[in-house]
Each structure stands twice: as structure tokens, then as C-alpha cells.
């Protein structure tokens, strides 16, 4: 997946599809959500970017 920008963007349609998946099937493993996001990316409905982060509790900026 190519780096598009610094913040991933979901179209309204893509958000609806992810929310519907969660409503219909409940909690999902990260791998399942990753598959859904990859499918949305392949359809051009999602922009993906990778950001290096530190591992651990304080890796998200805290």
C-alpha cells in the first residue's frame, strides 16, 4: 500500500461498511478489521499511510 498522507481518511461509504460489520458481527479481531480496510483500500475508498510509533503505553504520544 502506498503512503498517501499523514492521516488515513475513510469515505462515508467506507465508514458505513466498517460500522455495519461491527454492528452485524460484533467484536472483531484486528486481523479481520485489517482485511476489511485492505478491501476498502483496493476499491479506492480508503487512503492508507504508515506512521512509525514507539512500542508501549507511551508510544501514542503520551
Q: What one-character DSSP code corresponds to residue 57? A: G
pLDDT of residue 9: 64
Q: What are phi and psi of 19, to 5 degrees?
A: -65, -40
Run of H or E residues at 9: strand 9-10
pLDDT of residue 20: 87
Q: Is 47 in a helix, a strand, or coil? A: strand
Joined together, the cell numbers standing for residue 46 give 480508503
Q: What is the pLDDT of residues 21-33, one digit of tens each?
A: 889 988 888 898 8
Q: What is the pLDDT of residues 2-61, one digit of tens each?
A: 444 444 566 788 888 888 888 998 888 889 888 888 888 898 888 878 888 888 876 555
Joined together, the cell numbers standing for residue 23 give 454492528
All structural domains of the chain with their residue ranges: 9-48
Amino acid at each position: 500500500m502506498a503512503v498517501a498522507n499523514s492521516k488515513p481518511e475513510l469515505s462515508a461509504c467506507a465508514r458505513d461498511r466498517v460500522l455495519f460489520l461491527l454492528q452485524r458481527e460484533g467484536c472483531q479481531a484486528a486481523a479481520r478489521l485489517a482485511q476489511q480496510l485492505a478491501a476498502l483500500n483496493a476499491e479506492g475508498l480508503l487512503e492508507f499511510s504508515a506512521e512509525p510509533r514507539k512500542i508501549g503505553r507511551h508510544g501514542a504520544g503520551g
